[in-house]
Structure 1
Amino acid sequence: MLKEICIDNGGTLTDVCVFDGADVFAAKTLTTPFDLSQCFFDGLAKAARGLYGEDDVERLLRETATIRYSTTQGTNALVERKGPRLGLVLDAAVPRATLAPDGARAALFDALVGTRCVALDVAGEVGEEAVIAAANVLAEQGVSRILVCCAGPDYVAREQEFVAHYENRFPPHNLGTVPVAVAHETGGDAEVPRRIWTALLNAFLHPPMERFLFNAQKRLRNYRSPAAFRIYRNDGGAAKVAKTIAIRTYSSGPRGGLEAVRATALRRGFGHVIAVDVGGTTSDVSTVAAGAVPAELRGRVEGVATSLELPRIESLGIGGGSIVRVAEGIVHVGPESVGAAPGPACFGLGGTRATITDACVARGLIDPDSFSGIERPLDRARAEAAVANEIGTPLGLATPAAAHLICERWIASLAAGIRAHEPPRRDTVLMAFGGAGPLAICEVAAALGIRRVFVPKLAALFSAYGVRYAHLGQDYELTLAGLAPAAREAVLTAALATAARDLAGEGVAIADCAITARAITGDAAVDVPLEPASWPAAAESIQLRVSAGRPVSDATPGTAAAAAEAATPCGERTVVTRDGSLERIPIYRHAALAPGMRAAGPAVLQSDYFLCHLVAGWRFTVLDGGDLLLEAGDEA
């Protein structure tokens, strides 16, 4: 049986899961922001080492059928506002004020476009002189990419005319030609501002994603890998690089985690789950209720409505690598992150800014010799120096007190973000995953009034694990506004022909796919048959989903754990209290715990890839499959 590889690329660490039948081999490696293909192959090398005892990437790829890849790079780029210098050619009939009418949208528009916006009159045919004039204005402002957005019933033709004139004067093969993109290629949403915002966000994310993904694909070809390389999307599907638009990678990693949460909730019988995925740059909060993944028909990105249906995931600018700073006597956490380079000060790679990770190292919670994803021990002295210089000295605090204050601000910020996303219920289970998810989750739960926390065995790689649930397919949206009823049949026929070509490129016949349709009117969607005559007359657009799904079974059934048994600690860890005194607390190695074992805090639960600080007043129980249930209460 050929293997499957699922990869989740985060801002600080990149996670790899290799599925070989019922076995799962996991690996973590530092993300390399200067070349994301490097950490891609570093992760494969580590996974091969776990499988074969050596870094035989060629053999691993030869024995692999599919590689599915997700990334949070798009999410992180928007959170940190790092991307290309965009220029916008905007239909004069669409005032800029309609795109950015309030503070949040105006701030995002200023960050992505600013003053690099040219109004173009497209009431009639778009003339070449107007195109050249608009392009020159934007070129003088140093743009690296131009986006053209038109309105009206013939907006597609107007955008195509602009491109034809532009490429006639500025051929794409000439050096220095600024690439141009058009809004209609991102989607067929009839609502103009929403369609433009979707295209704008896609244009912002496109260049870095394009460079990396095609580079990774090229390196795979150099290995002569037969594996299909597919990009995991935020709709839960996957497709080839050439058939994936950049904005579909936004929150794709968290979507993988959410699919794993949904499957786990169904298996464990959890009716209401709030999930928090704490990575290096962001913390992603989501909800699963009654086994369903809540989604927004017109999902929001950075508070802006887009044309895409998106899972309800809130990305908070708080992660293990978030920079902590003092401003006007107050400690602030994030949203800026040190990433993997230079990384937290404790990484010893040149970073000097204090982060949450540095605070936990300074407190003694994180063992410098067992931090996952790094081939060298962490530097505790550098962590303590960063905490002292960045927080302790400005506030007049000793280093231990400063480290505790950082953690308190982190916990409070994370709890506030979770509550704003979904107020907890009495039956809520908080599910913690991501590399830093379990670390302070007991204190976060206590702040929220939640008494049960679930930590999956593969918590630190849960998003990569969830990517395996992807279906192969594509979504399409067909604009109906302004079309005569007789023209709808032609629109559907053309869309199905496009879908057939797209799926044929994946090696799948459209006859073997499931095709569903929904009619969109305003903010409402209703399922409709694939018969244009049956579509509502008032429908603004039709969404088609073409998928070739495959059932995925979980190796671990949701059976009860064995009889209760007291867990035996494997040693002790010395942690630093707020006043600087030392406290020794037991360590429990996750790999040495059997189902049914339990113990009470204070303690540290140490896995190969995550750490959980079990505070006083909480206890843990090991469930079947190695998952952990943390509950408020002193009795072990």
Structure 2
Amino acid sequence: MTATPGQAAVAPADARRYRLSIDTGGTFTDGFVTDGDRSAQVKVDTTPDDPTEGFAACVAAAAGALGETVPAFLARASLVHFSSTIATNIVVQRTGADVGLLVTAGHEETLYGSGEQAGLLAGFVHPGAIRGVPEATGPDGAVQNPVDPAGLEAAVRELLEHGVHLVVISFARAHLNPANELAAKSLIETSYPRHYLGAIPLVLSSQLSLDPDDHARTALAVANAYIHPVLARSMYKAEDRLRAHKFRRPLLIINTDGSSTRVAKTRAIDTYNSGPSAGVLGAAIVARALGTAHVVTLDVGGTTTDVAHVSAATAPRSVSTGFGGLSLRHPAVALSSFGLGGGSVVTAGPGGGLAVGPRSAGAVPGPACFGLGGSEPTPTDVWLELGYLEPGEFLSGRRTLDPGSGRAALAALGSELGASPEEAALAALDAIHTTLATHMRAWAAGQPGLAGASPGSQSLFSYGGGGGLLAVPAAAALGIDEVVVFPQSSVFSAFGGSLLPIAHTYHAAVTDVSDAGAVGQALAGMLDRAARDMRAEGVPAQAALTAAVTLSDFTGQETTTAGSFPDMLSDPAAASVSLPGGGGRGRLSVRITAVSDPPLRPAGPGPGAPVTGTRKVRFADGVMEVPLASGLGCPGEPPVTGPAFLAAPDTTVFVPAGWTAEFGALGYGIVRRQGGDD
């Protein structure tokens, strides 16, 4: 199937539809694509200067993996998901927008919080770009003083002279009544109309959150504004690259709440850390399919390892998001990270002991064996020296490792220890496992639900480039006897993103939570807006849609009702909720979800002929020929007894002595301790 330049390829009516999910990380951009029967995974270099270059390369690689041209592939694509570290990188590198902030007069220095809180926020909005506006809303939500037009105009003019690129409006008590924020927005847009080049992008705190804490709401709005412009440019450019090949559906952005939304309806802050979150959310879906009650997820990258506890097939949630030193009142997947990865630097201490991380060699120069100028040993150098990695097979042959450079780094370490390079590598491997165990146990101590679980109900899900070499030591440190490894391990966040539904959440302030009529009127407007958004997302009219409606006041009372979205849309009054025992102002929230439960299918063993053979691995008691098995992705393959390697695209999975691997109905590797609980 081909298309002439500028002409869209036309998919046959009976053609299967492709679902593509792309995750842009710091070093690689990963893709997972499926048509329901076949699937493929691809990995290309991330392009930091313009992440959409790597995005486009990943689309092309996915099309090629299924034997399609890009136009033909996109003509048959029903969904394209995108998660990334773009927002994270903006914060780490401090390359966000120049933000201006308007607050209620008198709060310019404290920003409704303490001096310390205001100081932390100064990293994202310069104190010189903050102005106060005369206005006031009372504790009952009534407007006491409307916005002073002259004071507002002077404040905005000063912010523009300061060089801000967009303005946040965050007034005290706007959660009770956003009228003054809306009035300020209207006045500014009248002075700077949108059709002029001088139009000012505006962010209202009450449109992002109805949190009763004025400082928390302000911090969230500033953080969102800081990353918004760069993120918007990247997301729209990625979508434009798809449209250039006549892809007519919206690009769907992965959000940290487990949903996906089109670019135009995505809030910047909702994408923060979306890639790692997608891995945990995907793990929860897999846990449900496997019937595993308690899952520890282990995602090992080049610099850090991320861990989470999935309980009852539900991803863990946190009420706050860490954001460059800030703790934002914004829900997120509860992930913990520690500084241990394939690029962590191994150093000798004064007493002859070894330390691993948290300092990392990074992507450049990277481990010494990358041959890019690195001279300090890392776990990757250790694994190569001991035979766990093959020089020509790293990243499926896309990068050839340099054993000589890795050995030189270990020789330097050995000279400090009075040991040979081989002895230094074995000592470093012990230190890597000891450091891993220390981190895992420290994390698990804060997971009471995991500590009380029976051994037979626990499993560790391993993914990420280095997960397969650290999975069993991590599980052993926690007393877990079962590890699950995946054919999609090296692209698991992209795989997880492919499983997430389209969903939208809306909120509105209500004047009286006990007034069912007023609440019902607000709900009807929100449901109508949701219907328009779902149509714009390309959700079919016959799709199964659910709705959850929550009404709460600001004293902690809350009630929720859930049901069919079409039923609520046809009769909003029947779905209306109220708090008869409550009274006064509150907030109404609605979440609409397009129920999406794509079946999990065997991924297949990956491209190319089955991988077999052996690797020479150095253990403490000598060198051994360790077999390489190709059962991953192949349901029902014969079990494998360790020590053995399981072949997997772009990663290495090691089954040590005393453990066995079986291959279940989905082709996942189920690695169990011999003699452990089944």
- What is the TM-score normalised by the length of structure 2? 0.78
Gaps of 5+ in 2: 1-15, 137-144, 563-571, 604-609
The 5 A counterparts of 1:338-349 are: 338-339=362-363, 344-348=367-371
TM-fit CA distance, 1:272 = 1.3
The residue type equivalent to 1:411 in the other structure is L
| Corresponding residue for residue 275 of structure 2 | 253
Which residue among 505, 508, 526 is the counterpart of 1:495?
526
| Corresponding residue for residue 150 of structure 1 | 171
How far apart, in 1, do the equivalents of 2:411 and 2:122 lie?
36
The residue type equivalent to 1:545 in the other structure is R
Check the 8 A contact 1:359/1:407 in 2, yes or no: no
TM-fit CA distance, 1:40 = 1.2
- Residue 426 (1) aligns with residue 447 (2): no
| Corresponding residue for residue 45 of structure 1 | 60
Residues 460-492 of structure 1: CA distance to partner in whole angstroms, max 9, x if unpaired? 222222223222231112223677836434432
Check the 8 A contact 1:7/1:17 in 2, yes or no: yes
| Corresponding residue for residue 560 of structure 1 | none
Q: Is the alpha carbon distance of 1:194 and 1:223 closer, same or farther for their aligned partners in structure 2, counting shifts above 3 Å?
A: same
How far apart, in 2, do the equivalents of 1:95 and 1:326 lie?
50
Q: Which range moves more in the overlay, 535-544 or 408-417?
A: 408-417
How far apart, in 2, do the equivalents of 1:374 and 1:264 lie?
29
How far apart, in 2, do the equivalents of 1:597 and 1:452 lie?
18
The residue type equivalent to 1:589 in the other structure is A
Check the 8 A contact 1:190/1:481 in 2, yes or no: no
How far apart, in 2, do the equivalents of 1:250 and 1:575 lie?
42
The secondary structure found in structure 2 opposite 1:120 is strand
TM-fit CA distance, 1:243 = 0.7
The 5 A counterparts of 1:146-295 are: 146-153=167-174, 156-164=178-186, 166=188, 179-295=201-317
The 5 A counterparts of 1:124-143 are: 124-127=145-148, 130-131=151-152, 134=155
| Corresponding residue for residue 534 of structure 1 | 578
| Corresponding residue for residue 590 of structure 2 | 544
Q: Is the alpha carbon distance of 1:31 and 1:345 closer, same or farther for their aligned partners in structure 2, counting shifts above 3 Å?
A: farther
- Residue 590 (1) aligns with residue 637 (2): no
| Corresponding residue for residue 83 of structure 2 | 70
- Residue 604 (1) aligns with residue 645 (2): yes
Task: Look at both structures and tell me which one has the larger radius of gyration over its CA atoms.
Answer: 2
- What is the TM-score normalised by the length of structure 1? 0.82
Q: Which range moves more in the overlay, 202-211 or 174-183?
A: 174-183
Q: Is the alpha carbon distance of 1:63 and 1:413 closer, same or farther for their aligned partners in structure 2, counting shifts above 3 Å?
A: farther
The residue type equivalent to 1:546 in the other structure is I
The secondary structure found in structure 1 opposite 2:666 is helix
Q: Is the alpha carbon distance of 1:333 and 1:310 closer, same or farther for their aligned partners in structure 2, counting shifts above 3 Å?
A: same
The residue type equivalent to 1:333 in the other structure is G
Q: Which range moves more in the overlay, 604-613 or 593-602?
A: 593-602
How far apart, in 1, do the equivalents of 2:385 and 2:109 lie?
49
The secondary structure found in structure 1 opposite 2:469 is coil
Check the 8 A contact 1:499/1:510 in 2, yes or no: no
Check the 8 A contact 2:30/2:58 in 1, yes or no: yes
The residue type equivalent to 1:367 in the other structure is E
TM-fit CA distance, 1:511 = 9.0
Q: Tell me the percent identity.
A: 28
How far apart, in 1, do the equivalents of 2:659 and 2:308 lie?
24
TM-fit CA distance, 1:211 = 1.8
How far apart, in 2, do the equivalents of 1:79 and 1:345 lie?
25
Check the 8 A contact 2:343/2:362 in 1, yes or no: yes
- Residue 631 (1) aligns with residue 672 (2): yes
The 5 A counterparts of 1:494-573 are: 494-508=525-539, 513-521=545-553, 525-528=558-561, 531=573, 532=576, 534-536=578-580, 537-538=582-583, 540-556=586-602, 570-573=613-616
The secondary structure found in structure 2 opposite 1:372 is helix
Residues 572-623 of structure 1: CA distance to partner in whole angstroms, max 9, x if unpaired? 234486xxx9734414233587736344444433322221233444333333
Residues 165-213 of structure 1: CA distance to partner in whole angstroms, max 9, x if unpaired? 5556667777798754332332334443332233233223323321211
TM-fit CA distance, 1:420 = 4.8
Residues 265-319 of structure 1: CA distance to partner in whole angstroms, max 9, x if unpaired? 23322121121222345433222223333434x3444596655443333344554
TM-fit CA distance, 1:552 = 1.9
| Corresponding residue for residue 120 of structure 1 | 132
The residue type equivalent to 1:377 in the other structure is T
How far apart, in 2, do the equivalents of 1:524 and 1:395 lie?
63
The residue type equivalent to 1:208 in the other structure is V
Residues 384-435 of structure 1: CA distance to partner in whole angstroms, max 9, x if unpaired? 566778x778999876358547734752464146425524433221111122
| Corresponding residue for residue 365 of structure 1 | 388
Q: Is the alpha carbon distance of 1:151 and 1:321 closer, same or farther for their aligned partners in structure 2, counting shifts above 3 Å?
A: farther
How far apart, in 1, do the equivalents of 2:482 and 2:268 lie?
37
The secondary structure found in structure 2 opposite 1:624 is coil
Q: Is the alpha carbon distance of 1:377 and 1:79 closer, same or farther for their aligned partners in structure 2, counting shifts above 3 Å?
A: same
- Residue 333 (1) aligns with residue 357 (2): yes
| Corresponding residue for residue 562 of structure 1 | none
| Corresponding residue for residue 474 of structure 1 | 504
Which residue among 41, 44, 53 is the counterpart of 1:26?
41
Q: Which range moves more in the overlay, 457-466 or 251-260?
A: 251-260
The residue type equivalent to 1:366 in the other structure is L
How far apart, in 1, do the equivalents of 2:366 and 2:169 lie?
38
Which residue among 443, 447, 455 is the counterpart of 2:473?
443
The secondary structure found in structure 2 opposite 1:626 is coil
Q: Which range moves more in the overlay, 392-401 or 610-619?
A: 392-401
The secondary structure found in structure 2 opposite 1:211 is helix
How far apart, in 1, do the equivalents of 2:154 and 2:420 lie?
61
Q: Is the alpha carbon distance of 1:194 and 1:106 closer, same or farther for their aligned partners in structure 2, counting shifts above 3 Å?
A: closer
| Corresponding residue for residue 619 of structure 1 | 660
How far apart, in 2, do the equivalents of 1:393 and 1:137 lie?
62
| Corresponding residue for residue 89 of structure 1 | 102
Residues 480-517 of structure 1: CA distance to partner in whole angstroms, max 9, x if unpaired? 36778364344323323322332232234889632220
How far apart, in 2, do the equivalents of 1:504 and 1:383 lie?
55
The residue type equivalent to 2:121 in the other structure is F
Q: Which range moves more in the overlay, 548-557 or 194-203?
A: 548-557
Check the 8 A contact 1:453/1:629 in 2, yes or no: yes
How far apart, in 2, do the equivalents of 1:176 and 1:398 lie?
67
Gaps of 5+ in 1: 558-566
How far apart, in 1, do the equivalents of 2:270 and 2:112 lie?
21
Check the 8 A contact 2:611/2:647 in 1, yes or no: no
The residue type equivalent to 1:109 in the other structure is L
- Residue 4 (1) aligns with residue 36 (2): no
The secondary structure found in structure 1 opposite 2:392 is coil
Which residue among 484, 501, 504 is the counterpart of 1:454?
484
The secondary structure found in structure 2 opposite 1:210 is helix
How far apart, in 2, do the equivalents of 1:395 and 1:480 lie?
69
Q: Which range moves more in the overlay, 273-282 or 358-367?
A: 358-367
Q: CA RMSD in A?
A: 4.1
Q: Is the alpha carbon distance of 1:524 and 1:301 closer, same or farther for their aligned partners in structure 2, counting shifts above 3 Å?
A: farther
| Corresponding residue for residue 561 of structure 1 | none
